[in-house]
Amino acid sequence: MAEFIMVIIGGVQFGAIYALAAIGVVVIHKATRTVNFAHGGLVMLGAFVTYLVVVELRWPYWTAYVLAPLLIGTLAMALELVILRPIRRADMFTVIMATIFLGIALSETFRLAQNTEMLAVPSAVKGPPMIVPLGEDAFIVTAEQIWVTIGALLTGFAGLALFRYAGIGRSMRAMASNIRGAQLCGFSIDRVYALAWFFGGALAGLAGVFAAPSKGVSPELAVSVISAAFVAAVIGGFDSLIGAIIGGLLLGVVETLSAAYVSSAMKSAVSFLLLFVVLLWRPDGLFPERKGRDV
Amino acid sequence: MSDRLRGILRVLAPSSALVAFLLLGLFVGQYQRYVLSHAAAAIVIGAALTMLVGYARCISLATGAMMALGAYGSTLLVIKLGFPFLLAVALGGVLGGLGGFILAVPGVRFRSHNLAMVTLVFQSVVIIVIRELKGLTGGAEGLNVPRPTLFGIDFSGDYAILMLTVCVCVCVLVPLTILVTGAYGKNLRALASNEVGARAFGISIEHHLIAAFTISSAAVAIAAAIAAPRFRVIDPDTYGIMASIFTLAYPIVGGMQSIWGGVLGGGVLALLPEVLRPVADFIELFFAVLVIATIMFFRGGLVDLAGAIGRRLKGARPPESIEAASPVDAAVTGGLETSNAAVAAIGNALVIDNVSKVYDALRAVDGVSVEVRAGSLHGLMGPNGAGKTTLFNTISGFVGADGGRIECFGRDITHSPVEGRIALGITRTFQQVAIFPELTCRDNVVIGLGRNGIGSVLSRSFDDIAGRARAAEERGQADWALAAVGLGGLGDAPAGMLSLGNQRRLEIARAIVSRPRLILLDEPVSGVGHQEAEQLKDLLKRINADLGVTMLVVEHNIGFLVSLCDQLTVMGSGRVIAEGKPEEVVTRSEVRRVYFGESEKVALHA
Amino acid sequence: MTSHHPVTRRSIGLALATLAGLGLLPRGAEANSQGVSKDEIVIGALGALTGATAFIGAPGRDGIQLAVDGINAQGGINGRKLRLVFEHAFTPAESVAAAKKLVESDKVFVLILASGSTGAAAAADYVRETGVPTYNLYGSTPIIRKPFAKNVFHSVVPPAEISGGKMVDMIFEAKPDAKRVGVLAGTYAFPQATKAGLLAALEKKKDVKVVVEEFDQGARDFTSQLLSFARQRVEAVLVSGSFSEAGFAIKQAPEKGVTNMTWVLDGSAVNDAIIPIIGPENTKGVYGYFNVPYFPAQLDPPIVKYNELWKAKYGAPPQGRPNVYDIAGYSSTFVLAAALKKAGTDLSWAGLISAWETVKDAKPSDFGGPDVAFPESFSPTDHQGNTRLGKAAIKDGIWQVIAK
């Protein structure tokens, strides 16, 4: 039982990071109809900012939580402006190709700048593992696990609330449901797109800060995050923020459970099998957004 | 004969790049020969991806997995079962094709990012399986590949391997070129640009895409199988997701609109790392930037770039849009064969009996019964939301009816699939023109002939090469239909360059070329000018008279409908509210009330 | 149409002749001094600059280049300057291609394998076939070592049976009565080689239960492996993998209920970058062996001098650099230089190989460099330059060699 609880805690911790990354993917897709395969690269750069701030500059850890979203959000906005805006009229297929290779360009740039296998980042919170008694047994939980899980989830829900209730969120949602209508109502498409990319990028940056200590900073982080974020987003229906959060948590727990009770090879396969089953069984995800009749 | 020769040369041309490698190989060092073999395999992979990515527009991230299937499959057959090398390579291709088929059967129901994700699933699972089956595949440490032997001769020299590679690659590239440039490639481009239009003419999207995955995967697998001995050791990393992504760059950078794109892209991008060895660190970044730049600035890729440079050298101007609408040529239209008129015997072409269609709570079509007389020009009108489009779609098969029965020339077609309509003699046009802009006008019309089942399309692709009479016959029929609608001289023009009015004519040509008995016309003059509408009306009347073909026309333009049709049905709120002679029907008060939105009172005053 | 036949036949004949010339003729003696000119000796090296083993290849390149610069600054070897051609190669296929390119196209005189076991294993057949003098810096895999090849020499990384024995010894120094020992090994080439050495050494210990778990390259989640160790109450774990893999395994251990563990790491995992991963406060009980006598962060004069040279050429080092592969690449190049010098005027492959076999106690100071590695010696029957390993532990927040 204690072992099972420890496995679940570990799964939820990874799941919370997946969820945060997935929300960014969903926000950008919802507002701009762009499927951002470069999101993993943005998360990796967020983790890199953490490394620079915490290890290189030795600034207090909290500055990473402020700087990473700002910098990565701005970068995402710039990428939208320079690369994706000129091809906005192209079909989805072309845009997806562009974001796939944009992701490669981001992680390659990082690799060339650093040229090391992996950069290690210390945990944000320190302290000895806590032993929680459970009947005759006891399970262990670390301060980092608590911090990452709660921090990432709170950030995710804050993003969700912002998208749902704040002014910027309203304009993005208006744009998502009907571009022409939103334009007629005075929303500038350029502004909303820039905003959505900033918002999505900022979430990616935060996901990077949370992921850095437990995953390390390396180009492989970009690949592992993007597949996990997409699987989580697809499970959630790709357009649902709450779906992305639940999808991320579900993925983290299922992965860790299969690692613990089947095999470590199964862990890598299970996320893809989960994706496959969801796509075939419920192509709109487990939490489909209600769609208008305009199809 | 000269047509056939030209066709054969066209098909062999891409392979000439491979043969050039063979010649070049005579004059360079051993290592360069090794690199040329590498580029030869990349050319085949590029060509295969042109089919799948460029033509069918499927984003596949599973190319690495297909390469792995080919390389591991063939190597294991040689090592474990002692198969001869070439047979093992061929079976490696079969294994790859099988992989493509298994991926595609569930995969082709998705598009864009979801399809990309499904292919990523396949890619990852194949690599995980190879990693885990350590006893068979050597796991992560890799598998030693023996030297290829052929009839007892050991192929170990670099030139020998280059020869072998080029021979096998030509054997794959030629059929690939035939398919891509032939009917199959045209159908892929048709369905990629307009799925609805393609389906209406019998192109089964699923079958075509499954075939694209299967064929391209088999080609990729063979290319990888022939390359494996050159690698000496193969391991899962060689065929990982990065291999998938970087091979995806081949057709993008080369150009996705012709087989030359894949050939150029594969060849150039495989040789590029060798040229850029001094800056090897930057090669992946360079690739990524190159792809993004291609997408942003010259989406046609190297092929377009080469074309533009060629034109610049010749001083020619780029082709312009064809705007002028040629008037209907009375003489040509008069030449329509009238033998089919006899088919239009007395009786009903179409019997719609109590058909209903319900969306959620909305009864879009509510127990509608209409009879369309054979040989008639039957109009269908009604205000927005009256259910006429839904009714129209149930007849054309795009929407299944919830109740009732539809009979066409005495056959029950209520539940027959869209793809089968054309065989029953039913064709249609679309409210929003559904031509295939990338194909020529003639190729657009040829698709209208039907014969688009996957087997028949694959075999038709070889018609030109085999010099079969059928190809010339098809062209003749297409030219007849084009002439009949007044597009006689535009057979070779890309359809996308026509004016809207001419695109409507092209749709009509495509609809009549199969000599159908019933044409369903969905708002044939929407968006065209008055004069053009008059010309189209004359054209439709003439076709109706000369071919004896029955027409059911949905249209908002009442004046047009009244002057075109000899029978008119009016719908409102999902039901038929009036039927009869057009001039008479439009004066009825219930029609005026529902259709023109006039209240009873206003109608009385009028 | 009749003219076709002779043409085809002639071209086939030509092709076959070329084929025979290329494929079947043995290499002539004239190839043996390729890459040597009046004032230059070209040496080729290959290793990964990108991918999961870039932490081996890139330092290898930088270390070799640093030594080449130092040797050339001293006037080179018998009047000839060294020139390095380095090729990136990550996968086995790329390693074969890079070796072919270096030997056949760049015509290098000596080939250095700076790629770790994956590349060394892939290139093994090729270098045996061509006979090019080859210096295997980092490959512990038996594939490059057995059977013995006259033209292949090995540097600071000893065969896996030596390093495996050393690791097992370290366990019983820390926990003399350990009864349950875990082995955590990567599924790729060098951890598998080490694993074989570890299992061979553990077999000699009586009454010790061995639990083997594996992970894929670049793994970040060790849930299944750690749970298995916890369930079987393992007391010490031998880790064979990179520093990041070992680091995350150690970091996650308490989260899965694995506490009070003794960890003994393979040399490639002994890297200062592991400390921020596991946290300086959790480094008790972590040991490893190191292939050279000093850690970059130690304050002994040779390594301080080495660090100065490194920074002068490459600037402020990133985290984890210079590492053992920097140092080994550096010192091994001096060993190669000693062999080249001994060969004197006979700069042919055969000449170099026989000179190399007589090299004794070669070290950087022979050419004015700091002695940051154990001296290397060779004989006609033993091509392993170094068999010594230092024992390392984390003290005062850095790795230190505590016993040589």
Taking only the tens place, the pLDDT of each residue in A144-184 is 899 999 999 999 999 888 888 877 777 777 777 777 777 77
What phi-psi label fits residue B375: left (phi over 0), alpha (psi between -120 and 50 degrees) or beta? left
- Lowest mean pLDDT, pick from B2-6, B344-348, B523-527, C197-201: B344-348
Backbone angles phi, psi at B592, to 5 degrees: -60, -40
Q: What's the pLDDT score for residue A134?
A: 80
Report the distance separating Cα B243 and Cα C357, nearest Å: 42
Taking the alpha carbons of A106, A110, A111, A113 in that order, is the dihedral positive or negative? positive
Does the pLDDT of residue A295 top 60, yes or no?
no
Q: Is C258 in contact with C230 (CB distance < 8 Å)?
A: yes
| Interchain CB distance below 8 Å, B232 and C122 | yes
For the stretch B441-485, pLDDT in tens is 999 999 998 888 899 899 989 887 887 888 888 889 999 999 989
ipTM: 0.91
Q: Domains of chain B by range and CATH? A: 14-313 (1.10.3470), 330-436+511-605 (3.40.50.300)
Q: Give exposure, B72-82, as e/b (b: 16+ Cβ within 10 Å).
A: bbbbbbbeeee
Give the minimum alpha-carbon distance from C92 to chain B in angstroms, rounded to a whole number.
6
pLDDT, greater one: B313 or B320: B313
Q: Closest Cα to residue C108, out of C27, C23, C46?
A: C46
Q: What's the pLDDT score for residue A37?
A: 93
Q: What average pLDDT does range C253-275 have in this prediction?
A: 89
Does the pLDDT of residue A8 top 50, yes or no?
yes
The proportion of chain A whose per-residue pLDDT surpasses 70, expressed as a percent, equals 98
Q: Mapped to the 3 state alphabet, what secondary structure does C333-364 carry?
A: HHHHHHHHHHHCCCCCHHHHHHHHCCCCCECH
Does the pLDDT of residue A198 top 50, yes or no?
yes
Report the distance separating Cα A237 and Cα B141, nearest Å: 39
Report the distance separating Cα A139 and Cα A129, nearest Å: 10
Considering only the beta carbons, identify the residue of A98, A269, A279 that sits closest to B295: A98
Determine which of A7, A9, A48, A117 to mutate to test the interface with C (most C C-beta atoms within 10 Å): A117
Q: What average pLDDT does range C202-209 have in this prediction?
A: 90
Chain B residues with CB inside 8 Å of A104's CB?
245, 284-285, 287-288
Chain C's closest residue to A140, CA to CA, is C255
The proportion of chain C whose per-residue pLDDT surpasses 70, expressed as a percent, equals 92
Chain B residues with CB inside 8 Å of C92's CB?
142, 231-235, 238
Q: What's the pLDDT score for residue C12?
A: 52
Q: What's the pLDDT score for residue B606?
A: 38
Give ranges for CATH 3.40.50.2300 in chain C.
Answer: 31-158+304-388, 160-290
Q: Is B394 in contact with B406 (CB distance < 8 Å)?
A: yes
Q: What is the DSSP code (8-state) at residue A81?
A: I
Q: Is B335 in contact with B482 (CB distance < 8 Å)?
A: no
Report the distance separating Cα B409 and Cα B392, nearest Å: 17
Q: What average pLDDT does range C397-404 have in this prediction?
A: 83
Q: What's the pLDDT score for residue C138?
A: 92
Degrees, nearest 5: CA angle A120-A122-A128: 135
Determine which of C7, C100, C108, C128 to mutate to test the interface with B (most B C-beta atoms within 10 Å): C100
Does the pLDDT of residue B112 top 60, yes or no?
yes
Report the distance separating Cα B144 and Cα A194, nearest Å: 52
Residue A259 vs residues A255, A267, A270, C277: alpha-carbon distances, Å: 6, 5, 9, 22
Q: Quick one: which H or E segment has residue B81? A: helix B63-81
For the stretch C98-118, pLDDT in tens is 999 999 999 999 999 999 888
Report the distance separating Cα C164 and Cα A220, nearest Å: 29
Task: State the alpha helices, DSSP H only, in B454-529.
Answer: 454-460, 463-466, 469-484, 500-512
| Interchain CB distance below 8 Å, A279 and B287 | no
Report the distance separating Cα B347 and Cα B342, nearest Å: 12
Average pLDDT across chain B, whole number: 87
Residue C186, strand partner residues: C215
Would you list which residues of chain A are within 8 Å, Cβ to Cβ, of chain B? Answer: 35, 37, 83, 86-87, 90, 92-94, 96-98, 100-102, 104-105, 108-109, 112, 223, 227, 230-231, 234, 265, 268-269, 272-273, 275-276, 279-280, 283, 293
Report the distance separating Cα B409 and Cα B416, nearest Å: 14
- Lowest mean pLDDT, pick from B75-89, B95-109, B333-347: B333-347
| Interchain CB distance below 8 Å, C15 and B155 | no
Does the pLDDT of residue B340 top 70, yes or no?
no
**Per-residue pLDDT band at B596 (split at 50, 70, 90):** low
The proportion of chain C whose per-residue pLDDT surpasses 90, expressed as a percent, equals 58
Residues 6+ apart with CB under 8 A from B385: B573
Does the pLDDT of residue A104 top 60, yes or no?
yes
**Per-residue pLDDT band at B323 (split at 50, 70, 90):** very low
| Interchain CB distance below 8 Å, C100 and B31 | yes
Residue A217, strand partner residues: A119
For the stretch C57-91, pLDDT in tens is 989 999 999 999 999 999 999 989 999 999 999 88
Q: What's the pLDDT score for residue C24?
A: 38
Chain C residues with CB inside 8 Å of A214's CB?
220, 248, 251
Considering only the beta carbons, identify the residue of C54, C58, C221 that sits closest to A259: C221
Chain B's closest residue to A33, CA to CA, is B113
> What is the domain partition of chain A in residue ranges?
2-281
Q: What's the pLDDT score for residue A117?
A: 75
Chain B's closest residue to C216, CA to CA, is B140
Tokens of A91: 């079909």
Give the minimum alpha-carbon distance from B123 to chain C in angstroms, rounded to a whole number.
17
Q: What's the pLDDT score for residue B595?
A: 66
Is B584 within 8 Å of chain A by CB? no
pLDDT, greater one: C333 or B299: C333
Does the pLDDT of residue C23 top 60, yes or no?
no
Chain C residues with CB inside 8 Å of A216's CB?
220, 244, 247-248, 277
Supply the CATH classification number for the domain A2-281.
Answer: 1.10.3470
| Interchain CB distance below 8 Å, B131 and A265 | yes
- Please count the residues of chain C: 404
For the stretch B350-379, pLDDT in tens is 899 889 888 877 888 888 899 999 889 999
Residues 6+ apart with CB under 8 A from B539: B328, B333, B485, B486, B505, B508
| β pairing state of B567-572 and B403-408 | unpaired
How is chain C split among helix, strand and coil, in percent rounded to 5? 45, 20, 35
**Per-residue pLDDT band at A137 (split at 50, 70, 90):** confident
Backbone angles phi, psi at B491, to 5 degrees: -55, -35
Give the minimum alpha-carbon distance from B34 to chain C in angstroms, rounded to a whole number.
8
- Please count the residues of chain A: 295
Chain C from 138 to 157: CB within 8 A of any A CB: none
Determine which of B19, B132, B141, B245 to mutate to test the interface with C (most C C-beta atoms within 10 Å): B141
| Interchain CB distance below 8 Å, B233 and C96 | yes
| Interchain CB distance below 8 Å, A139 and C255 | no
Residue with tokens 């209409």: B370
Q: What's the pLDDT score for residue B320?
A: 52
Cis peptide before C147 (omega within 30 of 0): yes
Degrees, nearest 5: CA angle B439-B434-B420: 95
Does the pLDDT of residue B17 top 70, yes or no?
yes
Chain C from 121 to 160: CB within 8 A of any B CB: 121-122, 125-126
Does the pLDDT of residue B280 top 80, yes or no?
no
Report the distance separating Cα B72 and Cα B89, nearest Å: 10
Chain A residues with CB inside 8 Å of B128's CB?
265, 268-269
Chain C residues with CB inside 8 Å of B29's CB?
104-105
Q: What average pLDDT does range A74-87 have in this prediction?
A: 94
Q: What's the pLDDT score for residue B597?
A: 62
Report the distance separating Cα C156 and Cα C291, nearest Å: 6
Give the minimum alpha-carbon distance from B43 to chain C in angstroms, rounded to a whole number.
19
Q: What average pLDDT does range B266-294 have in this prediction?
A: 89
Report the distance separating Cα B126 and Cα A75, nearest Å: 35
| All partners of chain C with 3 or more CB pairs under 8 angstroms | A, B
Tokens of B137: 């595949």
Does the pLDDT of residue A294 top 90, yes or no?
no
Q: What average pLDDT does range A14-27 have in this prediction?
A: 94
Cα-Cα end-to-end distance for chain C: 80
For the stretch B499-553, pLDDT in tens is 888 999 999 999 999 899 999 998 888 888 888 889 889 999 999 988 889 999 9
Considering only the beta carbons, identify the residue of B26, B157, B280 that sits closest to C23: B157
Is C107 within 8 Å of chain B by CB? no
For the stretch B293-309, pLDDT in tens is 999 998 889 998 988 88
Residues 6+ apart with CB under 8 A from C367: C70, C71, C74, C334, C337, C338
Residues 6+ apart with CB under 8 A from A235: A243, A246, A247, A250, A251, A274, A275, A278, A285, A286
Q: What's the pLDDT score for residue C14?
A: 53
Q: Is B200 in contact with B396 (CB distance < 8 Å)?
A: yes
Q: What is the third-level CATH fold of C160-290?
A: Rossmann fold (3.40.50)
Q: Is A79 in contact with C206 (CB distance < 8 Å)?
A: no
Chain A residues with CB inside 8 Å of C58's CB?
115-116
Chain C residues with CB inside 8 Å of B154's CB?
23
Give the minimum alpha-carbon distance from C122 to chain A in angstroms, rounded to a whole number.
22
Is C317 within 8 Å of chain A by CB? no
Q: What average pLDDT does range B255-270 have in this prediction?
A: 93
| Interchain CB distance below 8 Å, B234 and C97 | no
Q: What average pLDDT does range B208-223 have in this prediction?
A: 97
Report the distance separating Cα B360 and Cα B362, nearest Å: 6
Cis peptide before B437 (omega within 30 of 0): no
For the stretch C109-158, pLDDT in tens is 999 999 988 889 889 989 999 999 999 999 888 889 988 999 999 999 99
Residues 6+ apart with CB under 8 A from B222: B44, B70, B89, B90, B92, B93, B96, B168, B172
Is B109 within 8 Å of chain A by CB? yes
Is A140 within 8 Å of chain C by CB? yes
For the stretch B548-580, pLDDT in tens is 899 999 988 888 888 999 899 988 888 888 889
Q: What average pLDDT does range B66-74 have in this prediction?
A: 97
The SS3 assignment for B58 reads coil
Q: Give exposure, B361-372, as e/b (b: 16+ Cβ within 10 Å).
A: eebbbbebebbb
Backbone angles phi, psi at A219, to 5 degrees: -60, -30
| Interchain CB distance below 8 Å, C19 and B157 | yes
Q: Is A137 in contact with A5 (CB distance < 8 Å)?
A: no
| Interchain CB distance below 8 Å, C93 and B26 | no
What number of helices (H) and strands (E) belong to chain A? 11, 2
Q: What is the third-level CATH fold of C31-158+304-388?
A: Rossmann fold (3.40.50)
What phi-psi label fits residue B153: left (phi over 0), alpha (psi between -120 and 50 degrees) or beta? beta
Q: Is A138 in contact with A2 (CB distance < 8 Å)?
A: yes
